[in-house]
């Protein structure tokens, strides 16, 4: 069985306050975008010893997972992969969950503010629930996803949402941008999220993002901001240059997504988009 985990963008992001647990309360809009990975899960009935010639194979025999990946290389220990963690999470409560082979083709840039890893983890929960008829409700899946990470519950719903708390408190909103084209530019700059939070003095915004997005989209650039942009663009002026280039190319709104480093441009659907020819960075039109 195959699923196609999609990414998300942040439309506006305010750092509202620091919590006693060390995390921060935020407010932002999560919006699903059709840049996708590919995730396949099948029941494993082939002995590990004869598996060969697959890219980046990692086997966790204790938890009955054989994990492989292609596409963008996935760094780090496979045990920290959210897809594997999602399987392990369900296995604790569903002991009869069979051994599986899981393959992930990674296409969404990592560390880019697009939530690709969170999407993969959440879609693993959805796929396992469907394939093995676990009959988990949406609420139960959201609870499991929240254990995986703050962004993960959004991908269970996968609809535009106003997010608060650490990003796990979601309120569905009426926001339809289907008549626009999204341009995602990824400059392959790694931004340390902890450092980024340390650069910001949290404050309650004078106007909520949920209110601002009711304005015509052409007015967003005057009112809608991502609090991470100022310190990160000062540290990495290339990101500021990308945002400027998107506006010069005809975007009606442009912003860094999350803590970066991807920058999103929203264009009228039939715009003559030239930015891909102008930048030497990965650029996806969706």
**pLDDT digits 0-9 by tens, 84-141:** 999 999 999 999 999 999 999 999 999 899 999 999 999 999 999 999 999 999 999 9
The domain in which residue 215 lies consists of: 177-285
**pLDDT at residue 192 above 90?**
no
How many domains, in total, are found in the chain?
Answer: 2
Exactly one of 8, 36, 101, 243 is catalytic; name it: 8
Mean pLDDT of the chain: 92
Q: Specify the higher pLDDT residue, 50 or 254.
A: 254
**Is 8 tagged catalytic?**
yes
- Can you point out the beta strands (E) in the chain? 2-3, 6-18, 24-36, 38-43, 58-60, 65-71, 100-106, 161-164, 169-172, 180-186, 253-256, 263-268, 282-285
- Position 59 scores a pLDDT of 46
Q: Tell whether 127 and 243 lie within a shared domain.
A: no
Instruction: Name 27's bridge partners.
Output: 14
Q: Tell whether 157 and 212 lie within a shared domain.
A: no
Rounded to 5°, angle at Cα 221 from 217 and 225: 115
DSSP at 207: S
Q: In 3D, which of 35, 14, 9, 18 has the Cα closest to residue 283?
A: 35
Q: Tell whether 232 and 210 lie within a shared domain.
A: yes
DSSP at 209: H
Give the end of a domain, one of 171, 203, 235.
Answer: 171
* CA distance linking residue 8 with residue 16, whole number of Å: 21
Q: Tell whether 101 and 151 lie within a shared domain.
A: yes
46: confidence class by pLDDT, cuts 50, 70, 90: low
**Is 151 tagged catalytic?**
yes
Tens digit of each residue's pLDDT (9 = 90 or more) over 54-77: 444 444 444 588 999 999 999 888
235: confidence class by pLDDT, cuts 50, 70, 90: very high
DSSP at 37: -
C-beta separation of 99 from 77 below 8 A: no
Exactly one of 120, 151, 227, 249 is catalytic; name it: 151
- Residue 229: phi and psi, rounded to 5, are -60, -45
């Amino acid at each position: 069985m195959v699923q196609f985990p999609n990414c998300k963008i942040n439309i506006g992001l305010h750092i509202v306050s620091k919590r006693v647990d060390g995390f921060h309360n935020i407010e932002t809009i999560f919006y699903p975008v059709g840049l996708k990975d590919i995730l396949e899960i099948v029941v494993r009935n082939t002995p590990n010893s004869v598996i060969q010639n697959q890219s980046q194979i990692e086997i966790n025999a204790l938890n009955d997972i054989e994990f492989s990946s292609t596409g963008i290389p996935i760094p780090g220990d496979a045990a920290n992969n959210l897809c594997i963690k999602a399987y392990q999470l369900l296995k604790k409560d569903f002991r009869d969950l069979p051994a599986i082979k899981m393959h992930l083709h990674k296409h969404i840039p990592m560390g880019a503010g697009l939530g690709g890893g969170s999407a993969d983890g959440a879609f693993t929960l959805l796929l396992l629930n469907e394939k093995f008829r676990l009959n988990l409700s949406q609420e139960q899946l959201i609870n499991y996803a929240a254990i995986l990470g703050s962004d993960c519950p959004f991908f269970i719903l996968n609809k535009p949402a106003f997010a608060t708390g650490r990003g796990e408190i979601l309120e569905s909103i009426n926001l339809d941008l289907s008549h626009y084209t999204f341009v995602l530019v990824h400059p392959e700059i790694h931004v340390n999220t902890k450092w980024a939070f340390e650069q910001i003095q949290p404050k309650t915004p004078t106007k909520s993002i949920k209110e601002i997005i009711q304005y015509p989209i052409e007015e967003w650039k005057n009112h809608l901001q991502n609090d991470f942009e100022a310190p990160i663009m000062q540290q990495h002026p290339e990101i500021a240059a990308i945002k400027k280039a998107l506006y010069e190319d005809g975007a009606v709104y442009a912003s860094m997504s999350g803590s970066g480093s991807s920058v999103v441009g929203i264009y009228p659907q039939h715009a003559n988009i030239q930015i891909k020819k102008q930048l030497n960075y990965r650029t996806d039109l969706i």
